[in-house]
Amino acid sequence: MIAPLRRSLLALPFAATAASAQTSPGFEAVRGVTKARDIAQLGPLLDGTVREIMVAEGDRVREGQPVLRLDDTVQSQRIAQARSAAEAEGDVLQAEAQATEAQAQASRVSSAVGRGGAMEWELRQANARLAVARAAVQVAQDRRRLDRRRLEVELSVIEQYQIRAPFDGRVFKIDTGVGSPLSRSDRPITIADLRTLEATLYMPAAAFPYLRTGRQYELRLLAPVDREVRATLRFLDLLMDAASGRFRTVFVIENPDEAIPAGVEAMLTPAALRKES
């Protein structure tokens, strides 16, 4: 009679529930939206008018590549003036010539004093003129350094008239045109790199023991992709929300051929966790 009793206990509902609880995370599938890991909405650093758009929607761009330029006519004129001043050497050459002559004159007076042909006060005057001439050389050289520094500043300002790609990616939106005004608050160009996607899922507390950063899990991508992909858990938030009993996770999906569009829903099921545990 004992053996039948054991079989009947194993067949009871609570026994089956306990067995399944040991192998199932015990929650419903969780969904989250995918996005490009690198995405940027770009705008100008200065107010101005669009002079040139160097790319089209769909173009691939490299980090640092110019994609838009504002009208920089006035700034270009300032650069031309600054370059002329920085490259001018006339005042320096003149000051150096005068210093050379003052040096020669001071040497002649000094020799004359030694022979008794000149007075000490004449030598002092000659040395004073030499000091003034040398100071004029220093002033001219300082002015040239300032002119070159001013040119560097003007060149750095004109760089602000361009919008450059902050990373390798693709142009997905251009919401402006040549001749259109732009302000510093506008963001007319969107660039994203879809070769790496991220899916953010807010997981229930029951899933926590089954997740490890750096490990791969199987995510189900919903329509229009409708297939499974391998994703790496990059981040697991240890600050769980007490009210909802959930925590944030970020999964990375490699997408080298850009076959998966950003914005598609990703789903993680208890079965996928159980398979990877």
User: Quick one: what percent of the chain has pLDDT higher than 70?
Assistant: 90
Distance CA 139, CA 145 (A): 10
Q: State yes or no: cis peptide before 66, omega within 30 of 0.
A: no
Q: What is the pTM of this model?
A: 0.72
Find out whether 220 and 32 touch, Cβ atoms under 8 Å: no
pLDDT, residue 25, reads 66
Taking residues 42-71, report their average pLDDT: 97
User: Which residue from 268, 245, 244, 232 is spatially nearest to 37, judged by alpha carbons?
Assistant: 232
Least confident of 3-12, 39-48, 214-223: 3-12
Higher pLDDT, 257 or 122: 257
| Band of residue 24 on the pLDDT scale cut at 50, 70, 90 | low
φ and ψ of 31, to 5 deg: -115, 150
Q: Using one digit for the tens of pLDDT, what is the confidence trace for 157-170?
A: 999 999 999 999 99
Distance CA 191, CA 173 (A): 7
Fold of the 48-72+161-189 domain: OB fold (Dihydrolipoamide Acetyltransferase, E2P) (2.40.50)
- What three-state secondary structure class fits 277? coil
C-alpha gyration radius of the chain:
38
pLDDT, residue 212, reads 95
Domain 23-38+194-276 has CATH 3.90.1720.10: no
Does residue 264 surpass a pLDDT of 50? yes
pLDDT, residue 277, reads 65
Q: How far apart are the first and last CA of the chain?
A: 40
pLDDT, residue 112, reads 87
Q: Using one digit for the tens of pLDDT, what is the confidence trace for 159-207?
A: 999 999 999 999 999 999 999 999 999 999 999 999 999 999 999 999 9
Which DSSP symbol is given to 263?
Answer: T
| Band of residue 123 on the pLDDT scale cut at 50, 70, 90 | confident
Taking residues 108-133, report their average pLDDT: 87
DSSP letters, 154-217, are: HHHHHHTTEEE-SSSEEEEEE---TT-EE-TT---EEEEEEEEEEEEEEEEGGGGGG--TT-EE
